[in-house]
A = this chain, B = another copy of it.
Amino acid sequence: MRDVVIHVCVTCRHEGWDPEAPRPGARLHAALTRLAPPARIVAVECLGNCRRACTVSLSAPGAWTYVFGDLTPEAGPDVVVAAGLLGASADGLMPWRGRPEPFKRGMIARIPPFPTLEDAAE
């Protein structure tokens, strides 16, 4: 298993949402913390995906980094499943099969792992 880090943007708010209410991303972050998955959960002020909040990114050493948006505050269990898929991935890619629906529809970007010296030798 890879060590997975879940970054959660706790700042975003769609236009028209109650400015006084807890931010949806903050609610998602709190829900994830309660779920206590085998991953590190880190609140972030901005993941740059303001148009399609709520947003999380999933990272793991040697794996691709994934950014997902259009999530709801209720997406905690789905985030845990997606993090588990990345953590268990042998090739560092999140498999399509088994992804919760919001993680099929809501991909914002994916970034390869930082190249290693082995890659350089290819």
Q: Which residues of chain B are within 8 angstroms of A107 by Cβ–Cβ distance?
A: 48
Complex Cα–Cα for A63 and B94 (A): 23
Q: Which residues of chain B are within 8 angstroms of A88 by Cβ–Cβ distance?
A: none
- Give A42's nearest chain B residue, CB to CB: B115
Which residues of chain A in 35-82 are interfacial with respect to chain B, using CB atoms and an 8 Å cutoff?
40, 42, 44, 46-49, 55, 57, 59, 61, 65-67
CB of A108 within 8 Å of the partner chain: yes
Contact A114 B67 (CB under 8 A): no
Contact B111 A111 (CB under 8 A): yes
Q: Which of B46, B111, B120 contacts A65 (CB 8 A)?
A: B111
Q: Which of B40, B42, B67, B115 contacts A109 (CB 8 A)?
A: B67
